[in-house]
Structure 1
């Protein structure tokens, strides 16, 4: 099977189960940003993580692939539309709580940085927030249905990526970088 199909040469692509749309369609922007987030996480994993964080990042990458499929399915009755559910959100919340229990309470705003992996996780968090904004925009347009669980998942994931960045620094003995204000 060839990697190129030539079916997108006129600026259109196919959605799961429903016709073709232009490549600048908001749905493609939303799930393309999820794909970008997945790539950022791949870069972070290439930096090297402790085993627990590595396993969590690998699970998230797999879930993001599923989430992208859910976003590519515009039909609420479609096969992939509800592929991300409450159980996925619940697992993110469990991970946030477990990591947060290891960290000192925050007493100040922090700047992204520290180790390369932590900086990458902060970048992933910001890409996740952009994916969430795109998904919300999509959900607000006529015919732009997005599973409610997808929106909650992206919101919770950005929180998880934040605490993951903090714990990566903590485990490496690197302090959070305090924001000093103006």
Structure 2
């Protein structure tokens, strides 16, 4: 159980922060940037939830919880030591990736195929979901970059890749099943 009795600690005043294994790194390290952008994604999901209801809201709530799992995963290096750890760290699982895929498949089955690229917008919820999509893509890029220099959980990258697809399809659902999608018109303003 997490207990936060004091919010500020002053331990980061010199530009360093602690990772999940207790080691300290610069706040601008790639690992901190990756999990910080996952946190930013979570905040955008919180904004989207201001416009969501029913099943979509329940799915977004599950995604928010997954994003905390993902942040915990990315803030804990030393994957090779997981097996010998007294308290194995939380890692994103293939099951979480598969859940997103199943939800994407259900939503996508209700949509007409796209015949044009779409612009972010339409309903308030769709616009927020497109923001979630772009921020989650940034989190994915940072995580992929991190994976080139340090070992990370491959399911973390898969999750972020599926998540941005989930947000795209959900944005179409939020636009009256794609009927209110804003279509891109190439060269319309030349």
> Could you tell me the TM-score, scaled by structure 1's length?
0.94
Which of residues 142, 147, 162 is equivalent to 2:153?
A: 147
Task: Give the equivalent residue in structure 1 for 2:85.
Answer: none
Task: Give the equivalent residue in structure 1 for 2:174.
Answer: 168
Task: Give the equivalent residue in structure 2 for 1:50.
Answer: 53
- Asked if the contact 1:122/1:161 (under 8 Å) is kept, the reply is yes
2:30 is the alignment partner of 1:26: yes
Structure 1, residues 20-54: CA drift from partner, whole Å, max 9, x if none? 001000000000000000000001112x2130100
Equivalent residues in 2 for 1:21-170 (5 A)? Answer: 21-46=25-50, 48-76=51-79, 77-78=81-82, 79-80=88-89, 83-141=91-149, 144-170=150-176
Q: Could you say what secondary structure the match of 2:151 adopts? A: coil
Higher helix content, 1 or 2: 1
- Asked if the contact 1:15/1:73 (under 8 Å) is kept, the reply is yes
Q: Could you say what secondary structure the match of 2:49 adopts? A: helix
> Could you tell me the TM-score, scaled by structure 2's length?
0.90
Where structure 2 has 5 or more consecutive residues not aligned to the other structure, the ranges are: 83-87
Which of residues 11, 18, 31 is equivalent to 1:14?
A: 18
Pairs aligned (count): 177
CA RMSD of aligned residues (A): 1.2
- Regions of 4+ moved over 2 Å: 77-81
